[in-house]
Amino acid sequence: CPFAQPGNPSPHSHARRSPGWDPHYNNTMTPGQWASLRTALSQSIQDGYGPLFVRLAYHDAATAGGAHAQQLITNRTSFHSTELALLDRIKTNFPAITFADLVSFAGALSVSAMGGPKINWRSGRNDAKDFQDAPVDPTAPIPDGTENVDQFRAHFRRIGLTSDRDMVALMGAHNLGNCHIWKTGYAGPWSSTPFNLTNEYFKLLQTPTNYRIEKILSDLGPKEQWIDNAGRMMLPVDMVLTRDASFVKIIDEYAANQDTFFADFASAYGRLLEHNVSPGLSKDAISTDNPPVVAAAVSKPGTCYPSIGSPIFCVDIVVDNGNDVIFTVHTNRQGWVGLGVGSGSMTNNDVIVGYKGSSDKDGFQTSRFTTVQHKITPNSKSAWQQIPLRGASDKPSWAKISFSAVHPKVISSTTGLVGNNLNGYVTFAVSDFEPLGDNNVVDGVTTLYQHDISAILTKGTGGPTMVGNDTPSSSLSVGAIAGIAAGAAVVVIAVVLAIVFRRRALGRGEKVPTAEIPEPVLPATVQQPDAGWMKSQSTTKSEGPMSTGASSSAGDSAPPSFLPDTTTAKSEKQLQLFNVFTPSSVPRMNEKGGNLVSIGGSSGSTYGVDEAAENAAFEQQLKQYLDGNATPPEDPLTWDRAASAYFVMKNGGSLVSATRVRDENFIGSVLLAPSFTITDLLFKLGIERTGDKIIFENAMVALRERAGVTKQEPPAYI
């Protein structure tokens, strides 16, 4: 029996194979089809799927021996759902390939496409029909990252990789990709180049003392990972490698010589992908050449800070309609953001960084959905805005915040910037310092960056130059920023942006006094729509294209206090949420119905049920709304319990799996409100740049087409 291999934890599964099992798969793909498949996959890899494919192929091989892991394939709600859904789609164009081969080939191709070695790859994997049909126990556990040395070795031995070299080399795949807090409770990338395979992972493992424990809270429970100053992480299991003399020797070897790592990786990954594969494998290797250029995916956007390492935040600066300079910050951190804008004489008082515990849970306290546009008025010397970042730690953690300042031509009365003779700089500062409770105090800045403002104005963006760097508990103050800027002997607009990490989420190993983290105020019961409130919101004038009504313009005025957790605060949050879907500036879709908001089409997992029926039901409902024959649910609070759309919003991270977003019935919520760009929405809904984003984007475009809504999209932010 080809499957009765030593270490197979469930040899009896062979006996349960259904009669239709044909271990001898005849590949009927033509060379031309292989070439087209490479092109199709390359495109997806370029879009960021590479790490997902590498991991998927590993899990498939590790659980079902390359015979199509039914655990993964049939369970479309698994955390591999994004990439599986994509492969599903690709597969329809390549009926001659088995899904097992497709999964495996995608992994192999991704390795070389992302700068890694060529994998010697052969086709011939069979598709199992169901769990029983899979030759290896498909319920074999996938390691979760907390394994000790013995468990780690045992895992690899079980899948036929017995040497320490194999194991260490394979772990080098963690140079790629990210941990996703909503999938595993861990967060962040291991390396500075998550879309390029290099030996950086091993170099980093050579100095484990650069890492400190980071506590992360999410719905998946408290986790501990390791993090360095650049925001790169290591799982506990990665660190295990540094605690075994034999592993350490190999780490040193790979760190010193990338070629050695590549050779060993190619060998080990190649064998892994053939683990337990029947003798039906073709003799000829299929080329895994044709590597696409993925560098673009890595370098976008060019304004991420720090410029190497895990992006702590990325800033887009665009000149909008000639009047505003809009700073948009994408951050993968939670907490609060403070922004100060002023002339060269900024003082601590000009920059307010606030800290008021944001919700650790889903709910209206989270501002994931908040896009704040802050306008700096012509005569203001300084202004500020503080924004609660999305507190929910169970979602992909990118948030987007926009600030806008009036064009420096206008600001010139206070800054001295005149006309197009703009040779100033915009200075950014990133901080992970901790402000003092609710006191809104700036007490440290870690990293400074400058933007050449003339580049911003003439080209729409300026490349960042790092001008200062300090340790996390830096003594550099905002005053120091102004000093550095002034020292550059140029007229300066200092934009100080401080990101305050919520201590509870990014514990830095310290316990947080509970007093600093007020619990979220969540509605105890479903609130009924408040007709009066709705009415008043719908007449609110929007301040700008990205305004949610949550913005404030400040001038030199004293900063308002933080929103208390009162009814007012709650209604403010409601407003923010509401505006996500029905910005008041948007013309009504039709006379009766207003803008389409959330559609509570389906809830729970939609995959595996009758998709066609669900889609039909959705269409029906959509039509009703558009025709004005039904009114969409108005109060966002009611979406909580009612709608799957709400899942996206409320439980977004944990439930935004591709399974859900791929189905148009699910995303009806997103709409028909043309003022929202898809890009905006992706951030609001917590959808990351890789798989989910693409699927979601496509689905939204399709939906819009059907609804006849046209909207020009700005270039993608990330």
Q: Shortest Cβ contact with ligand HEM: which residue?
A: 177
The nearest distance, CB 184 to ligand HEM, in angstroms, is: 3
Q: Which is nearer to ligand HEM, 111 or 478 (CB)?
A: 111
| Binding segment toward ligand HEM, per CB under 6 A, in 34-42, 51-59, 584-592, 696-704 | 51-59
The nearest distance, CB 236 to ligand HEM, in angstroms, is: 9
- In the list 29, 37, 54, 102, the residue contacting ligand HEM (rule: CB under 6 A) is 54
Q: Which of 130, 135, 101 is nearest to 25 (CA)?
A: 101
Site track 147-186 with ligand HEM (rule: CB under 6 A), x = hit? x----x--x--------------xx-xx-xxxxx--xx-x
Q: Which is nearer to ligand HEM, 58 or 647 (CB)?
A: 58
Footprint (CB under 6 A) of ligand HEM, residues 81-140: none
Footprint (CB under 6 A) of ligand HEM, residues 231-290: 235, 237, 269
Q: How many CA atoms lie within 13 A of 299 on its CB side?
A: 6
| Binding segment toward ligand HEM, per CB under 6 A, in 116-124, 143-151, 372-380, 670-678 | 143-151
The nearest distance, CB 155 to ligand HEM, in angstroms, is: 5
The nearest distance, CB 428 to ligand HEM, in angstroms, is: 28
The nearest distance, CB 142 to ligand HEM, in angstroms, is: 8
Footprint (CB under 6 A) of ligand HEM, residues 605-664: none
Cα four-point dihedral sign 428, 195, 693, 709: positive
Is residue 689 a contact point for ligand HEM (CB under 6 A)?
Answer: no
> Which tokens is 27 given?
């590949």
From residue 692, alpha-carbon distances to 282, 605, 677 in Å are: 34, 16, 16
Rounded distance between C-alpha atoms, residue 609 and residue 614, angstroms:
8
Q: Which of 661, 698, 705, 685 is nearest to 43 (CA)?
A: 698
Cα four-point dihedral sign 14, 17, 20, 21: negative
Q: Is 248 exposed, middle or buried (0-12, 13-18, 19+ CB in 10 A)?
A: middle
The nearest distance, CB 340 to ligand HEM, in angstroms, is: 35
Footprint (CB under 6 A) of ligand HEM, residues 185-224: 186
Instruction: Give catalytic status of residue 12 as yes or no.
Output: no
Rounded distance between C-alpha atoms, residue 67 and residue 124, angstroms:
9
Q: Which is nearer to ligand HEM, 109 or 554 (CB)?
A: 109
Contact 598, 645 (CB under 8 A): yes
| Binding segment toward ligand HEM, per CB under 6 A, in 23-31, 142-150, 346-354, 676-684 | 142-150
Rounded distance between C-alpha atoms, residue 701 and residue 79, angstroms:
24
- In the list 2, 145, 437, 463, the residue contacting ligand HEM (rule: CB under 6 A) is 145
Provide long-range contacts, Cβ within 8 A and 24+ apart, for 510-514: none
The nearest distance, CB 224 to ligand HEM, in angstroms, is: 13
Task: Provide, for the chain, the percentages of residues in helix, strand and coil under a 3-state DSSP scheme, each rounded to the nearest 5.
Answer: 35, 15, 50
14, 59, 155, 180: which is the annotated catalytic residue? 59
34, 121, 182, 190: which is the annotated catalytic residue? 190
> Which tokens is 372 given?
């704040």
Residue type, 63: T
Cα four-point dihedral sign 129, 130, 135, 141: positive
| Binding segment toward ligand HEM, per CB under 6 A, in 46-54, 86-94, 494-502, 681-689 | 46-54
Q: Quote the radius of gyration of the chain (alpha carbons, Å).
A: 26
Helix (H) or strand (E) holding 402: strand 399-406
Instruction: Give catalytic status of residue 59 as yes or no.
Output: yes
The nearest distance, CB 463 to ligand HEM, in angstroms, is: 27
Rounded distance between C-alpha atoms, residue 344 and residue 484, angstroms:
10
Bond before 301 cis per omega within 30 degrees: yes
Contact 396, 686 (CB under 8 A): yes
CA 221 to chain centre: 19
Q: Which is nearer to ligand HEM, 170 or 589 (CB)?
A: 170
Number of residues that bind ligand HEM (CB under 6 A): 25
Q: Which residues are part of the catalytic machinery?
A: 59, 190
Q: Which residues would be at the binding site for ligand HEM (CB under 6 A)?
A: 51-52, 54-55, 58, 143, 145, 147, 152, 155, 170-171, 173-174, 176-180, 183-184, 186, 235, 237, 269
